[in-house]
Chains A and B, each alone.
Chain A
């Protein structure tokens, strides 16, 4: 506005304090001083009736210049506050992204913004870049590993099949030869036939274990839950394992503490677990006792069947108790040499128990023996299932 275009009353009536600023602002103090001098000049004019237009115009010009400067400064501060708020909003977004594992967001670095805020934005952006890069690398590595694992599983499954076919032929023909010539052949030949048969069966078991673990790891092994007669299954297991128990001069005790007759579950896999535990107990015990104790209990609101296999054998060192469930691990390397086995049996057994919704635990004392407990929940059966078992 041009100087001198206002009369005294207009100047007096203007809101020269303008937008809110800090009380100790020097610019505002000067403006207030100017306001007081103008008021004084107007009062003097009125009292003395002698106008001094030049002085008044000069004061008004000064007042307008100061007011413009103040308004500009206020605007600059408002812009700064707005930009700071905007940047802090972005920084919060980036931090929230980091907390949610989203590393794709970036904060803007504003020219003229204060150093600390820009440093914060740059630091967060660099962290996001590194994390995004590392995550991409990890995902790629995981995908490669998964693909390799799938290829391994397929290879193992194919190779297992290819191995099993000739092995079954070796087992079959060695048994055939034994039946045909067992009574008439020389003792050396009978012994050789038995060795061929034993070695082939052992190799078949190894292949079966390898196939099982690869299926479990690939999550391709599915359980078949059907009702079955539990006492019959246990009797069958006892009959199967008895020769091995006697072979190591052990005695088998079978303690039955349950009323249940029909159980819903995968009888094949349960049988596999119990035979594995019993054969281990027998293998690591000589001239001792192997006990199979089966009892029913209620825990965590469901019925659970505990299959406990105890022995009076060599026991397991405390620091090995967890490791024995890892694949290809036995208590130590000499165990494999002395007792044989792949080191896969307990891994498979624990994983099968977990797949059944249960657990496989162990307690042991070196020199006194071990106790393995396979705890398996008993799912409720639908009406009609009992009849189905009876019919079958």
Chain B
């Protein structure tokens, strides 16, 4: 059974498959305070472990520069091992590509338009990390 935390901008859940799923709510704008709140909520949910994260940004609209920087910075890298970002529109593709090309996340980060492919990619990464032992870098 999954545990869920709701923040101003996201619904964050840790499922039985050990993947954290963040669903972006339709809010006005994702700001730095929201990014900090979401990263802290994720950290609290997983108890300090670094996790594989599925970010469902299909309803995302706006995210400011500071928030983007925080999500791709060292604080988030302490919590996240890899992120699969689900996008469903041109807006999502623009935001996702921008994060990927401009902010350069320090962990594996990939865009998906289909949820199963995103889950599959994360599961493959998890399996690879199990084979290689703890993935802490």
Contacts and interface: CB of A to CB of B under 8 A. Distances in A.
Contacts of A133: 65
A123 B94 contact: yes
B98 A119 contact: no
Nearest to A129: B65
Contacts of B91: 115, 118-119, 122
A109 B62 contact: yes
A129 B61 contact: no
A109 B61 contact: yes
Given A115-B89, A119-B89, A126 B94 contact: yes
Contacts, number: 33
Contacts of B95: 122, 126
Contact of B61 (A116, A122, A130): A122
Interface residues on A, range: 10 to 19
A123 B64 CA distance: 11
Report the interface size class on chain B: 10 to 19
Interface string B68-86: 1000000000000000000
Contacts of B61: 109, 118, 122
Q: Residue among B62, B68, B91 with the most chain A CB within 10 A?
A: B91
B62 A130 contact: no
A314 B133 CA distance: 64
Contacts of A123: 94, 98
Given A118-B61, A119-B89, A122-B62, A130 B102 contact: yes
Contacts of B90: 115-116, 118-119
A129 B66 CA distance: 10
A133 B93 CA distance: 22
Interface in A95-141: 109, 115-116, 118-119, 122-123, 125-126, 129-130, 133
A109 B98 CA distance: 17
User: What 8 pairs across the A-B complex have the smallest Cβ distances?
Assistant: A119-B90, A129-B65, A123-B94, A119-B91, A119-B94, A115-B89, A115-B90, A116-B90
Interface of B: 61-62, 64-65, 68, 89-91, 93-95, 98, 102
